[in-house]
């Protein structure tokens, strides 16, 4: 399905709404509806279970969104959490200079892709790598991309705003909205939102809304290591809201100004960070595969341009409907954060390693994933239109959300064949009352049974139980499987076990 269809499906079926919609919306903020909140909670639960509960050496915390303002000075966010901003003087639209340049390169890449696809159709034994490395036009285009990105990365690393503007001029990049090339200079824009404490005026009372959850972990390092008696290597995890004043926030819940992160900081001995960095890269990739993301839609992207705190970093990219984009970051953050907090707070943030008999500031490997981006990855990977036989055997199109059953908002729908039949309704409600102790279940009596099935397909419900006249005679019901469309009869007293087993999250944990 294309991106527009995914967005409208999310709205129509109660997954995601635009924030403040009745006031024409608030840009880049979204609300999760009744099905969305269930799916999002299941994603969070799967992350928490697999990262915290399945690891003896990882513990969780839940720190405040507001923190002492000095924390953001120490972390480098006050001085360096910037994006290069450029305005178009004619359209008055604002852009990130690096994204304009990347967009220019994406267009060239799309042309290369087209040529590759064309050639692939012509030859049966098509060798893409060979074609890319020998075709003159592709080599030329690829060289152009490499040169422009090389220049951009250097300019970003040097914080050279004039050079960024020059690249935009040299590439003749126009405003995607208006086509105008009338640009302002590029300048740095800090992405942190701030607010003011009520009882302290001026700079001293200036608070930031956290732009990442990680700092809440770093500043609790001593508390947690003392109270949990964990020995290095160990990790601290948390899930929580983060806020960034993104310059351009398009692409639905991919880039929001208020979003949720699931982060884990793993504290290790200095010098051992690369081993753990590789370990967590593999572990996190395996997690994405376990949740059902196909290997072909996942890839690593190594950072050439390292953030001020990192000595190695890679993204796990997912193929969203608008291309491969960052879904998760795995960063080797060195001892940068703990050391900075140690210096600014004056408190020793060290660990005594009993095996080495020495004190040191631990190194950190971080895994950081946006919950909302994961939600979008799951939805865009699962939402399909497919041809299936209808009740009369003819082919018809259905929209189905083929979610992993453990993630499905509703695990089972219970449907009486007729809505005005007391016996069927009562028997259905009995099934619901037993099921709801274990799973999220929905009772639905409205419309013909076929339409009810389709409604459940569209929200990803893996199983439907239909209660009919035979139920009243022999205590059996029909169990319909979302994916195979198979319908089998099972005893009522087996429903709970079958549904619970089929939708159990434990099956995904290894
Ligand atoms: P990007 O380059 O896309 O802006 P980033 O490199 O700044 O992302 P990180 O600081 O590494 O992102 O944040 C970790 C994760 O948090 C990202 O991989 C992403 O999943 C999520 N995330 C970051 N910014 C946003 C946002 N504005 N909206 C939704 N999720 C976000």
Per-residue model confidence as pLDDT tens digits over 412-462: 999 999 999 999 999 999 999 999 999 999 999 999 999 999 999 999 999
Q: What does the DSSP 8-state code read for residue 362?
A: P
What does the pLDDT average to over 367-376? Answer: 98
**Euclidean distance between CA atoms 488 and 474, whole angstroms:** 14
Q: What is the mean pLDDT of residues 484-498?
A: 95
How many angstroms is it from 480 CA to the middle of ligand 1? 39
Cβ atoms of 234 and 85 within 8 Å: the answer is: no
Q: Rounded mean pLDDT of the chain?
A: 94
Poorest-pLDDT segment among 86-95, 236-245, 276-285, 389-398: 389-398
Query: Residue 351: what pLDDT?
Result: 95
- Bridge partner residues of 383 (DSSP): 401
Assess whether pLDDT exceeds 90 at residue 202: no
Q: How far apart are CA 278 and CA 283, in angstroms?
A: 9
In the structure, what pLDDT confidence band is assigned to residue 308 with cuts at 50, 70 and 90? confident
Q: Whole domain around residue 170: which residue ranges?
A: 83-189
- Domain membership flag for residue 347: no
Helix (H) or strand (E) holding 208: strand 206-208
Is the shortest distance between the CB of 327 and ligand 1 below 6 Å? yes
Q: Domain boundary residue among 189, 220, 241?
A: 189
Establish whether residue 424 lines the binding site of ligand 1, counting it when its CB lies within 6 angstroms of any ligand atom: no
Is the residue at 348 inside a domain?
no
Q: List the residue whose alpha carbon is closest to atom 18 of ligand 1.
A: 328
105, part of any domain: yes
Ligand 1 atom 21 nearest Cα: 370
Q: Is residue 149 part of a domain?
A: yes
Distances (CA, A) of 95 to 85, 109, 275: 6, 21, 38
The whole-number pLDDT of residue 38 equals 98
Ligand 1: centre distance to CA 216 (Å): 17
Q: For position 99, what pLDDT does the model report?
A: 92
Given pLDDT bands bounded at 50, 70 and 90, which one contains residue 509? confident
CA separation for the pair 495, 102 (Å, rounded):
53
The rounded distance, in Å, linking the Cα atoms of 78 and 192 is 8
pLDDT score at 510: 62
**Ligand 1 neighbour 337 (Cβ under 6 A):** no
Q: What is the DSSP letter of 361?
A: P
Nearest to 366 by CA among 439, 279, 303: 279
Mean pLDDT of the region 314-331:
96
- Token pair for 244: 């960034």
Number of domains in the chain: 2
**pLDDT tens, residue by residue, 284-293:** 999 999 999 9
Angle at CA of residue 244, ends 364 and 162, nearest 5°: 90
Q: What is the pLDDT of residue 201?
A: 78
Residue 299 contacts residue 288 (beta carbons within 8 Å): no
Token code pair at residue 310: 């990192």
* Domain end residue (candidates: 156, 189, 222): 189
Answer yes or no: is the C-beta of 366 below 6 A from any ligand 1 atom: no
CATH code where residue 420 lies: 3.40.50.800
**How far does residue 304's CA lie from ligand 1's centre (Å)?**
17
Whether 329 is in the pocket of ligand 1, judged by its Cβ within 6 Å, is yes
377 CB less than 6 Å from ligand 1? Answer: no
Q: How far apart are CA 185 and CA 84, in angstroms?
A: 10
Centre a 10 Å sphere on the Cβ of residue 392 and count the other Cβ atoms it contains: 7
- Within-domain flag for 291: no
- β-sheet with 323-334: strand ranges across: 58-60, 234-243, 258-268, 363-370, 323-334, 312-320, 298-302
483, exposed or middle or buried, with CB in 10 Å at 0-12, 13-18, 19+?
Answer: exposed
Position in ligand 1 atom list of the atom nearest CA 328: 18
Please state, in angstroms and rounded to a whole number, the distance separating the CA atoms of residues 202 and 329: 36
Q: What is the average per-residue pLDDT within 473-477?
A: 96
- 36 Cβ below 6 A of ligand 1: no
Whether residue 324 lies inside any domain: the answer is: no
The CATH number covering residue 119 comes to 3.30.40.230
Looking at the domain assignment, is residue 151 inside a domain? yes
How many whole angstroms from 256 Cα to the centroid of ligand 1? 9
Q: For residue 370, how far is its CA from the centre of ligand 1 (angstroms)? A: 6
Q: Is 258 in the pocket of ligand 1 (CB under 6 A)?
A: no
Nearest CA to ligand 1 atom 10: 212
Domain boundary among 162, 189, 216: 189
Tell whether ligand 1 has an atom less than 6 A from the beta carbon of residue 38: no
- Whether residue 211 lies inside any domain: the answer is no
**Mean pLDDT along residues 115-136:** 89
Q: Is the CB of 211 under 6 A from ligand 1?
A: no
């Amino acid at each position: 399905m294309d991106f527009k269809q995914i967005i409208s499906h999310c709205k129509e079926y109660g997954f995601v709404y635009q924030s403040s919609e009745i006031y024409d919306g608030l840009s880049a903020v979204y609300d999760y509806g009744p099905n969305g909140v269930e799916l999002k909670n299941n994603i969070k639960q799967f992350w928490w279970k697999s990262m915290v509960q399945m690891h003896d050496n990882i513990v969780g915390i839940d720190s405040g969104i507001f923190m002492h303002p000095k924390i953001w000075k120490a972390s480098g966010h006050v001085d360096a959490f910037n994006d290069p901003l450029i305005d178009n003087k004619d359209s008055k639209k604002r852009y990130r200079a690096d994204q304009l340049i990347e967009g220019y390169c994406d267009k060239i890449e799309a042309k290369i892709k087209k040529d590759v696809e064309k050639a692939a159709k012509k030859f049966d034994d098509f060798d893409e790598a060979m074609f890319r490395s020998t075709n003159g036009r592709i080599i030329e285009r690829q060289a152009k991309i490499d040169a422009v990105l090389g220049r951009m990365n250097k300019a970003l690393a040097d914080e050279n705003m004039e050079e960024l503007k020059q690249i935009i001029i040299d590439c003749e990049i126009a405003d995607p909205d208006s086509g105008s090339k009338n640009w302002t200079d590029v300048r740095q824009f800090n992405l942190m939102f701030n607010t003011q404490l009520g009882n302290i005026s001026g700079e001293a009372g200036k608070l930031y809304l956290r732009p990442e959850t990680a700092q809440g972990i770093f500043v609790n390092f001593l508390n947690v290591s003392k109270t949990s008696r964990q020995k290095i290597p160990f990790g601290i995890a948390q899930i929580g809201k983060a806020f960034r004043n993104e310059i351009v926030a398009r692409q639905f819940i991919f880039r929001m100004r208020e979003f949720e992160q699931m982060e884990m900081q793993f504290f290790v001995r200095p010098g051992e960070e690369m081993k753990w960095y590789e370990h967590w890269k593999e572990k996190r990739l395996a997690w994405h595969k376990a949740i059902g993301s196909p290997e072909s839609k996942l890839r690593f992207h190594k950072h050439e341009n390292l953030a001020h705190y990192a000595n190695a970093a890679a993204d796990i990219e997912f193929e969203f409907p608008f291309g491969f984009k960052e879904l998760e970051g795995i960063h080797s953050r060195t001892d940068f954060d703990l050391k900075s907090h140690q210096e600014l707070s004056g408190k020793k943030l060290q660990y005594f390693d009993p095996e080495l008999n020495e004190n040191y500031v631990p190194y950190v490997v971080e895994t950081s994933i946006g919950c909302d981006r994961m939600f979008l990855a799951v939805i865009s990977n699962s939402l399909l239109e497919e041809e299936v036989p209808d009740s009369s055997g003819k082919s018809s199109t259905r929209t189905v959300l083929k979610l992993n059953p453990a993630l499905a908002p509703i695990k089972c729908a219970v449907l009486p064949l007729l809505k005005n039949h007391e016996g069927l309704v009562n028997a259905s409600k009995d099934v619901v009352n037993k099921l709801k102790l274990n799973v999220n279940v929905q009772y639905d009596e409205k419309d013909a049974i076929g339409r009810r099935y389709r409604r459940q397909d569209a929200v990803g419900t893996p199983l439907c139980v239909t209660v009919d006249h035979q139920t009243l005679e022999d205590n059996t019901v029909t169990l319909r499987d979302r994916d195979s469309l198979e319908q089998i009869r099972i005893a009522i007293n087996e429903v709970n076990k079958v549904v619970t087993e089929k939708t159990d999250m434990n099956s995904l944990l290894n």
